[in-house]
Structure 1
Amino acid sequence: MAKAKDVESGESIILPLISRGTKEVGCGSNCMVLLSTLVAVAGSFQFGMSGGFSSPAQAGIRRDLHLTLAEYSMFGSILTIGAMVGAIMSGRLSDFLGRKGAMRISSIFCVVGWLFIYVAKGAWSLDIGRLSLGYGIGILSFVVPTYIAEITPKNMRGALTTANQLLIVCGGSFSYLLGTVVTWRTLALMGFIPSMLQMLGLCFIPESPRWLAKVGKQEEFESELRRLRGGSADISDEAIEIQKYVESIAKLPKARIRDLFRRNYLYSVIVAVGLILLQQFGGINGIGFYASETFVAAGFSSGNAGTVAMAAIQVPVTTVGALLLDRVGRRPLIMVSATGTCLGCFLAGLSFLIKGHVSSPDIIPILALAGILLYIGSFSIGLGAVPWLIMSEIFPLHVKGMAGSLVTLVHWFGSWAISYAFNFLMTWSSSGTLFVFSAVGALTVLFVAKLVPETKGRTLEEITSAMSSFSSTKL
């Protein structure tokens, strides 16, 4: 197989591309784009709260409801089972109801989920609530980056799509910090607020113009595109480019799931699924869901200090990643990120390996904390956001719904496997578990170097044409 750099550099291997007609827009005409992104990422914030909730809540829930470790592991991981169901339906929902309609459905399920957790008296109510939350964020994990990528000018797409991950991180950090000072029930009550804000905000923002063009709503397509670009902007070139692309894919047969594995789209599937699998099997949901107990196992008297430090580092580092994404590109950022996760897990694993074999035991928790903070910071700067951004960029519009369902299903399967098994793996061998995660980080660097293309500075139509051409000529 040829290396991904062939896609980046070779006009010779790319089919004639649709003309670059998108005009750069000034700051004054971006207000609606920014507002729409803000509404979309309100769901991302609640996504982060859902994932971060289980770490600070673990001790309180197990004490108040008398849950065993196995019961709590089920509660922690059932979020991902619901998310798998949501992922399966996310593409179809967003294709049938539109991007805004899918976000509305997810918000409703998230509100219901938090309320079930808040009133829980036993494991069954907790699990129902967590399952409902999972279904909602399974939809969000596809539709939010897709919506942002489809409404955003190419010169802003990287930064604004990364806002999805930034708000996920902010939500997780908010859960970590607030969970140290309030009860788990209060934290659950706070959880449904972002979804309520998103449902309200959806009444005031436009639908994705690309989706409207795809379903044949021509007048709405033009009016919504004008709302996004500003009343004085010239949208003619961009509208023509989108319309030509939609007309070209409309001539193709109706796509089915097996079509994703045909030659035209195989490269895109390999890149998207590979990145998501490596992201998840690098251990992020195990470390994130159960960080508090991991710090206690490393020798801290409580996990609060470690989780506060994690919360403090995630937001600024993710912000730096968002600012760098459209400057340095997708590939360099994700390779630096994966290298950092590799080193971070190695340090944390080393701390558990030498525990009990050093003359100064105080160094063990410090080494574990340094390793986990390096891991979290490195993940936040690239691996958290870039795979979702690339997924939203590389699939053609007519298969994006199914492709998104496939990728998010794979994501949540990996998340379930890691989040459910993590406590048992750490009981088996803490150092061995972390060394495996370190090896996955190293494998991620190799995968990106060999297979992942650079998409910075291209329109969505240009990227998908290039990916299809590469699949047809090189695979």
Structure 2
Amino acid sequence: MQSLMIAAIPNIIGWLTISFARDISFLYMGRLLEGFGVGIISYTVPVYIAEIAPHNMRGGLGSVNQLSVTIGILLSYLLGLFVSWRLLAVLGILPCLILIPGLFFIPESPRWLAKMGMTDDFEASLQVLRGFDADITLEVNEIKRSVASSTSRRTAIHFADLKLKRYWLPLMIGIGLLALQQLSGTNGVIFYSTTIFESAGISSGNAATVGVGAIQVIATAFSTWLVDKTGRRILLITSSSGMAISLLLVAVSFFLKGLASEDSSLYSILGILSVVGVVCMILAFSLGMGPIPWLIMSEILPVKIKGLAGSVATLINWFVSWVITMTAPLLLDWSSGGTFALYTLLSIFTVIFVGIWVPETKGKTLEEIQFSFR
């Protein structure tokens, strides 16, 4: 909880810096502060949800985090149609102002309290989360055994320990999923969707972007309902396969457009196909590769390395996101078809990665998941 409270402060200062910016240096400073705050929140929230949720609801509750993100993106798209960017930055402060007092009404993570040795507080927090009439004896004993097992070993983690399967395998899976989530180019497509739609012949690019945001919300909401029914692996494989097919359609459309005459009906049809491919790609991403990598990461990392490993995985995710966002316009100027062909190959690699390495975590407690890596 303290981490979220700390993260809200640079977010508030960052939005104020952007809103009252006098030159580009203020914008960079504001974005830097925002990145620091959002980086903490993007890791802390899924871990907190995973630690407090019952194992049979953890997937759906964990996906609510990404659903909230997509709703926020859609709201920013809609507000951006009517207000200036300075006012939009001021409005960005409101969620942070609500977050800080709201945290006082949220119980601390029972697993974190148990790890800190606060036994009475840990049991009280778990009882509040499960309901005062619920029998928490079995869950309390599982958490106590897990904490006792982790503290019976050396408390300090060394690089040599990462050679052990129970550490390197979940770390590799977590980092791999969060990196591949961005390498598919989704953020580049979303951030430059207006340009992509205009290059495809859609004049009202802003309206199309809002439509993409709405599709994200609907698809992520469906994934939230589905993830505890079908499982994580099948959604990840379906999502990355759908992205690969959609991106291939966009790549082929742009390649063929370069050969067709701008006055021909084929040119118009190819423009429509490229837009359909982009929309399907966003839809497929939102069904699995959007919400589930964060969920998997919060489930599989061992308690002993969760703080450090989760921070590294989050750092890599946002670094790759920055690289994709910065290179997307350059790649699109070089070759629209080539850009989407590259993203297609990375999506195909994601299917292979998930099929080989990612375990199914549906219906298992966090303790059972972490024990399976030993």
Q: Is the 1:260–1:399 Cα contact (8 Å) retained in structure 2?
A: no
Do residues 161 (structure 1) and 62 (structure 2) align?
A: yes
Secondary structure of 2:105's aligned partner: coil
The question of 1:378 aligning with 2:301 is answered no
Residues 251, 336 of structure 2: 8 Å contact kept: yes
3-state SS in 2 of match to 1:353: helix
Q: CA deviation at 1:182?
A: 2.0
Distance 1:177 1:377 in 2: 19
Aligned-pair CA distance for 1:219: 1.7
Count of matched residue pairs: 369
Q: Percent identity?
A: 46
TM-fit CA distance, 1:365: 3.2
Alignment of 1:135-154 (within 5 A): 135-154=36-55
Output the CA distance in 1 between the equivalents of 2:156 and 2:56: 30
Please list, as runs of the form range in 1=range in 2, the aligned pairs for 1:219-298 lying within 5 A after superposition: 219-256=120-157, 258=159, 259-298=161-200
Deviation, structure 1 residue 257: 6.0
Asked if 1:335 is matched to 2:237, the reply is yes
2-side partners of 1:260 and 1:183: how far apart?
A: 49
Matching residue of 2:333? 427
CA distance in 2, matches of 1:264, 1:242: 18
Residue 66 of structure 2 aligns to which amino acid in structure 1? Q
Q: Distance in 2 between matches of 1:169 and 1:282?
A: 18
2:202 is aligned with 1:300: yes
Matched residue SS, 1:443 = helix
Unmatched segments (≥5 aa) in structure 1: 1-99, 469-475
Distance in 1 (CA, whole Å) between partners of 2:369 and 2:232 is: 13
Q: Which amino acid aligns with 1:212?
A: L
1:447 Cα deviation from its structure 2 partner: 1.2
Superposed, 1:56-455 pairs within 5 Å as 100-256=1-157, 258=159, 259-358=161-260, 359-360=264-265, 361-455=267-361
Instruction: Label 1:306 to 1:255 Cα distance change in 2 as closer, same or farther (>3 A).
Output: farther
Give me the whole-angstrom Cα distance separating, in 2, the residues matched to 1:117 and 1:352.
36
- Quick check: 1:177–1:307 contact (8 Å CA) kept in 2? no
Rounded Cα–Cα distance in structure 1 between residues aligned with 2:201 and 2:87: 29
The 2-side partners of 1:380 and 1:255 are apart by 38
Please, which runs of 5 or more residues in structure 2 have no aligned partner?
none
Conserved 8 A contact 1:255-1:399: no
Structure 2 counterpart of 1:326, which letter?
Answer: D
CA change 1:231–1:437 in 2 (3 A) is: same
The residue type paired with residue 130 of structure 1 is R
Specify the alignment match of 1:41 in structure 2.
Answer: none
Distance between the aligned counterparts of 1:132 and 1:209, measured in 2? 30
Q: TM-score, normalised by structure 1?
A: 0.75
Contact 1:306-1:369 at 8 Å conserved across structures = no
Structure 2 CA distance for partners of 1:365 and 1:177, relative to 1, 3 Å: farther
Closer/same/farther in 2, CA of residues 267 and 175 from structure 1, 3 Å limit: same
1:309-328 CA deviation, whole Å, 9 max, x = no partner?
10121111101101110000
Q: Distance in 2 between matches of 1:356 and 1:236?
A: 66
1:263 CA displacement: 3.1
For 1:355 and 1:122, the matched residues in 2 are separated by 40
SS of 1:467's partner is coil
Q: CA deviation at 1:261?
A: 4.3
Whether the 8 Å contact between 1:321 and 1:382 is mirrored in structure 2 is yes
CA RMSD of aligned residues (A): 1.4
- What SS is found at the alignment partner of 2:257? coil
| Distance in 2 separating the partners of 1:227 and 1:452 | 33
